[in-house]
Amino acid sequence: MSTDHDDFGGLERDLPMLLQRRHVLKLLAGGSLLALASCASDTKQSAATNAAPTSGSAAPTAASTGSTAAATTAAGTAATASTTATGSAATCTPINEETAGPYPGDGSNGPDVLTESGALRSDITSSFGSSTTVAEGVPTTVTLAIQDSANGCAALANAAVYVWHCSRDGLYSMYSPGATNENYLRGVQQAGADGRVTFQTIFPGAYSGRWPHIHFEVYASVDDATGGGQPIATSQLAMPEDVCKVVYASGGYEKSISNFAQTPLSRDNVFSDDNAAHQIPTTTGSVDAGYTLELSVPV
């Protein structure tokens, strides 16, 4: 008996047969895939036709347009909601926290005017106590509307505000040489139900190294302000440039002219971060009639 395993023609015959069978299988497989793809396509087309209204070829376009419009409307609604939220947030963002500076007069750096009985007042043009010196300058009314930033900018009733600033010559009472025995241009007011406080004062001068400004601290209550409590906000008002130019050109502010030119708002060490975008008050009036400054102060 032969022991040759290639008794059926061997590899020379089997290899072509195997290749032929593989080719047939590929054709069959390809045909199956095509059939499956065709079935899937027919099924999707059938589903689309059944789902669409019976308005002919325009129906898919209308359905597609409706979906796009709905998506656009949803996106628009979301964008509007986002814009509204952002706008509300921006409106109620707490005012910039700023330094109280070296002359606060609140006990944190030397003298404390807040513990003195005469500090609670609306007219801060004169000193009180042992001196009655009146600070000269263009009459100015400062009104601040204190708002609760955590409550939709609702009026913060009964808050207390301490305001202080330099004289037209750039001097700070209680600190500057020649004014250490004075306490003018400082005072505390309690807000009413509308959260507003108003002070009668003068337009501040410009001194070297700073843009003209008015300091203020906000306290939760008068008791906190006059009893050693901590302020809930400390900030500054930046005087409007156009008004500064007019005021400093008037009599008595001669020292402010050159000082004002030295430090523009963009280089001021307090306001330069955003050019006092939220700290410049609305201003009306004139040198002869006096000025009114108003600012909303969310805290």
Q: Is 207:170 a contact under the CB 8 Å cutoff?
A: yes
Question: What is the amino acid identity at position 197?
Answer: V
Q: Is 195:220 a contact under the CB 8 Å cutoff?
A: no
pLDDT of 191 above 50: yes
Instruction: Please tell me the distance from the alpha carbon of residue 296 to that of residue 196, in angstroms, as a whole number.
Output: 9
Instruction: Supply the pLDDT for residue 179.
Output: 98
R_g of the chain, CA atoms, integer Å: 40
Q: What is the DSSP letter of 213?
A: E
User: What are the tens digits of pLDDT across the range 210-243?
Assistant: 999 999 999 999 999 999 999 999 999 999 999 9
Q: How confident is the model at residue 1 (pLDDT cuts 50, 70, 90)?
A: very low
Residue 143 CA, chain-centre distance (Å), reads: 21
Instruction: Supply the pLDDT for residue 176.
Output: 98
Instruction: Supply the pLDDT for residue 103.
Output: 98
Instruction: List the single range of 19-28, 200-209, 239-248 with lowest mean pLDDT.
Output: 19-28
Instruction: Supply the pLDDT for residue 58.
Output: 36
Instruction: Please tell me the distance from the alpha carbon of residue 111 to that of residue 173, in angstroms, as a whole number.
Output: 10
Instruction: Supply the pLDDT for residue 91.
Output: 64
pLDDT of 61 above 90: no
Q: How confident is the model at residue 273 (pLDDT cuts 50, 70, 90)?
A: very high
Instruction: Please tell me the distance from the alpha carbon of residue 148 to that of residue 195, in angstroms, as a whole number.
Output: 9
Average pLDDT across the chain, whole number:
78
